[in-house]
A and B are shown apart, each in its own frame.
Chain A
Amino acid sequence: MSDSPLLEVAGLTVRLSVNGAKLAVLRDVSLTVRPGEAVGLVGESGSGKSMTARAIDRLLPDRAEVQGSIRFGGADVSGLAGADLRRYRSQVAMIFQDPRAHVNPVRRVGDFMTEVLRTNFGVPAAQARRRAVDMLAQVGIEDGARRLRQYPHQMSGGMLQRVMIAAALLTGPRLLLADEPTTALDVSTQAEVMAILASLRRGSGLAMLFITHDLELAAATCDRTAVMYAGQIVEIRASALLHGDPLHPYTAALAAARPDIAQTAHRLRAIPGRPLSAFEAPAGECAFAPRCAYVRDICRAAVPGLVQLGGGVSRCARAGELRGHLQAAPGG
């Protein structure tokens, strides 16, 4: 794993026009992904995790106001257009939560899979189909030639998501943006898709930004995990340390709120209130302050900056003082 980042997002702030008003959806998001690295991006509704992926893949609406920079392989991607943008997107592939919403239901799977190779790379149809069949075998679909002739409705959700992964990898990308790719699948199919992604990544050195609401899934499958709240990153941490040594009260609260498969809690430690979107967050103070069990005056005085701590990053004004105490959450 090289140290120079493959993807470098710095100070990314995005505002969208909604009914004439400019609403912030991302606020000062900074994040790196190194070659071959898997980074989890975790958050609840409205946290901005999907919007971050869309910004990286240049899929934001035309009138979005974007500040900050996104660099891929050292080059700024904000000005890319036409063939350059297509080339960039072949390097940064994306898979989504609901594969059925991203395929044309009346076209055969083979047409969908080979389209980019044929139209953007000029690969002859027969050769494109051979490559598609090979890639399907790599995601565990053995009868690829037959599958290419099928329509999406003839496949289960898990099968179709494997097809989407194979399609995304056909152009030989260096980064996979995976936006909740297993959320709609049952647990055994999720395990299988995660296993396929892990083995493909081992084989090809593919880096991954894995977007999920599931802190446990990110912690179990990614090298590092970034936690988002209200359009900001509040913590970045080696995944192995997330549960035992969290740096932000929100990360600790998120972990504590989940039921434990190994024991029944008398009561779950629910976080009061509901998750806020970036544009709902109170101005000039910590966005998590209204729900935080550790809130003090200092948290309301200003938006906390990012502090380096124990090899990770936290956006908590009390991060240093709270470190090591966040596990003993109130009520526990």
Chain B
Amino acid sequence: MADTSGAPVLEATGLRKEFGGLVAVDDVSFRLRPGRSLAIVGASGSGKTTIARMIVGLERPTSGSIAACGHDRSRPARSARDRRRRGREVQIVFQDPYTSLDPRQDAEAAIDEVLRLHHGWPAGRRRARTAELTGLVGLDARQSRAMPRSLSGGQRQRVAIARALAADPAVLILDESVAALDVSIQAQILNLLADIRDQTHLSYILISHDLAVVRQLTDHTLVLHRGTVVERGPTARVLDHPQHPCTQRLRASVPRPGWKPARRGPPDTGKDAGPR
């Protein structure tokens, strides 16, 4: 079992991001403990991807702080060493497996590069770890030596996951990482992510608008609306008994037998809410 009593591996406090005059993220706080998974859900433009980008350092928070493994990361890294340490704390897997890999690198080279950069191991040890990682994500020998262009979307996403794991991060951010995959492949990747978490105590942050995927992979959920947290709690409770009209609206938007999709209305009327 994951250690749930330990210090948080990731902690965001009063996170805020403005673009010009526009507030994209407003006073968002959360903690993530080792081996746990947090979903961040919300409609397009609710700020979920901006939060992911601030955590990995692609955006700088306007105010508030982010710490991973006890180290602040809300300011730009001051040195290459600092930047590498941050890479060992948090890694990210993006949505599109077609644009997130170097087209001139096969899986083995992509993983080897990360191992060399982050761990500085000799070639023999890197080769052994590369074989372990490709095995863990289910890539065979041919696929491990194939260029991204000759791999399918699901295989590329496995490469992206293996490459992220090569840094041995404490937190893996999954930014819609299974959204573009075929249903039969999506199930394989979700099972793989659950296995990895069970084996390594890795923590996940899942950015998703697919509530069924959220249910499958996460234990806590945070619902964003226009940059602010409108509801949070255990994933099962948030999805089974949504309290906030925005959550109710998201929940009611999921297709199901006998579904009557709702036409636009202000989200705060609550008339689209499913049975409670």
Contacts and interface: CB of A to CB of B under 8 A. Distances in A.
Interface of A: 44-45, 140, 156-158, 185-192, 194-196, 198-199, 213-217, 219-221, 240, 243, 253-254, 257-265, 267-271, 274-275, 291
Contacts of A194: 255, 261
Q: What are the 4 tightest A-B residue pairs by CB atom distance, in nearest-first order?
A: A259-B216, A270-B187, A271-B184, A220-B255
B215 A220 contact: no
Interface string B164-180: 00000000000000000
A29 B215 CA distance: 37
A195 B271 CA distance: 15
Interface string B230-273: 00000010011000000001111111111111111000000000
Contact of B44 (A45, A156, A195, A215): A156
B223 to A, nearest CB: 12
Contacts of B183: 44, 213-215, 254, 257-258
B236 A196 contact: no
B191 interface: yes
B154 interface: yes
26 contacts: A44-B185, A187-B209, A187-B250, A190-B253, A194-B261, A199-B263, A213-B182, A213-B183, A214-B255, A215-B183, A219-B257, A221-B261, A243-B257, A259-B187, A259-B190, A260-B215, A261-B211, A261-B239, A261-B251, A261-B254, A268-B190, A270-B184, A270-B185, A270-B187, A274-B152, A274-B184
B264 A192 contact: yes
A157 B209 CA distance: 15
A261 B213 CA distance: 7
B29 interface: no
> Majority SS of interface residues in chain B?
helix
A44 B182 contact: yes
A114 to B, nearest CB: 25
Interface residues of B, number: 43
Contact of A274 (B185, B209, B250): B185
Contacts of B255: 191, 194, 214, 216-217, 219-221
B188 A186 contact: no
Contacts of B258: 220
Query: Which residue among A158, A187, A196 has the maximum number of chain B CB atoms within 10 Å of its CB?
Result: A187
A45 B239 CA distance: 30
Given A186-B43, A187-B254, A267-B191, A274 B182 contact: yes
A213 to B, nearest CB: 7
B43 A45 contact: no
A68 to B, nearest CB: 27
Given A216-B256, A274-B182, A257 B187 contact: yes
B216 A265 contact: yes
A264 B184 contact: no
Given A259-B190, A259-B213, A271-B184, A220 B236 contact: no
Given A189-B44, A257-B186, A220 B259 contact: yes
A179 B236 CA distance: 33
Interface centre among B254, B255, B262 (most CB of A within 10 A): B255
B256 A264 contact: no
Interface string B198-227: 000000000001111101100000000000
A215 B184 CA distance: 12
Given A187-B250, A268-B190, 5 more contacts: A213-B183, A220-B258, A254-B184, A263-B215, A268-B187
Contacts of A258: 183, 186-187, 212
B136 interface: no
B212 A260 contact: yes
User: Which interface residue of B152, B155, B190, B249 has the most chain A CB atoms within 10 A?
Assistant: B190
A259 B215 contact: yes
B194 interface: yes
A189 B249 CA distance: 11
B212 A191 contact: no
B8 interface: no
B153 interface: yes
